[in-house]
Amino acid sequence: MKISGNTILVTGGGSGIGRALAEALHAKGNKVVIAGRREAVLDAVTANNPGMESMLLDIQEAADIAAFAQRAAERFPSLNAVINNAGIMKPENVPAADNLAIAEETVATNLLGPIRLTTALLPHLLKQPRAAVLTVSSGLAFVPLAATPTYSATKAAIHSWSIGLREQLKGTSVEVIEIAPPYVQTELLGPHQAVDPAAMPLADFITEVMTILETQPEATEVIVERCKPLRFAEATGTFGQVFAALNAQRT
């Protein structure tokens, strides 16, 4: 991926990994547009990053996504990259049967949202000389966290979908890049996660991601060192041990 000179849409760009990626890419000389549901949060980010712009988007609403994609293409004709970052992560108690609403919301946000948005934007992206679709999966796509089974499943699905999309777009101007974060200091699971010493500092994660994007322009997966034990657990024959350790630590 070309690291500068792009017009990039970042969903979930108001906080966490989305905001940090948006700010890092903005600093590299890209035109960055952040999207999310909370206008005040988006406004705070753009106020701190002159030149960055924002658009409201409810990633759970199919009709809103189609209309949003049309507006984005019209407002930013040079748009040539989208980072599908918006996501939610909530614990579920399946035996207690209180999980269904969480599961459905998670699938709508983490899986259907990126699929719908990418599909809506692809006709525009395919017209660009060089374009990219970036998906944000997770280390939990490869070794699931039992407490968040639907989250883990949606991230595994995003990984698989990214591979299939990459193959279908082979030979076009659009590349597909998957970013798989480990456990990072954000508020995805709540304020405690942002200060959890077991989580990777957000700044360190972003620095490593940007280094990979900049030094490995042909990379199809961005896997930081902290995520490699999860990403390659199956291949190295350590899945059982990694799964047990992960779920013991996070219970």
Q: What's the order of all strands across the beta sheet hosting 53-56? A: 53-56, 31-36, 7-11, 81-84, 131-136, 174-179, 221-222
Q: How far apart are the first and last CA of the chain?
A: 38
Domain that includes residue 189, residue range: 7-249
| Residue 238 belongs to some domain of the structure | yes
| Residue 1 belongs to some domain of the structure | no
- pLDDT values of the chain reduced to their tens digit, one per residue, 251 residues: 899 999 999 999 999 999 999 999 999 999 999 999 999 999 999 999 999 999 999 999 998 899 999 999 999 999 999 999 999 999 999 999 889 999 999 999 999 999 999 999 999 999 999 999 999 999 999 999 999 999 999 999 999 999 999 999 999 999 999 999 999 999 999 999 999 999 999 999 999 999 999 999 999 999 999 999 999 999 999 999 999 999 998 75
Q: Are 179 and 10 in contact (CB under 8 A)?
A: no
One-letter amino acid for residue 137 of the chain: S
What is the rounded CA–CA span in Å between residue 36 and residue 39? 7
| Residue 85 belongs to some domain of the structure | yes
| Residue 102 belongs to some domain of the structure | yes
What Cα–Cα distance (Å) separates residue 16 from each residue in 4, 58, 84, 124, 249? 22, 17, 13, 28, 22
| Residue 58 belongs to some domain of the structure | yes
Number of structural domains (the chain) is 1
Whichever domain contains 215, its CATH number is 3.40.50.720
Name the active-site residue from 31, 92, 131, 151: 151
- Which letter does DSSP use for residue 201 in this model? P
> Would residue 151 show up in a list of annotated catalytic residues for this protein?
yes
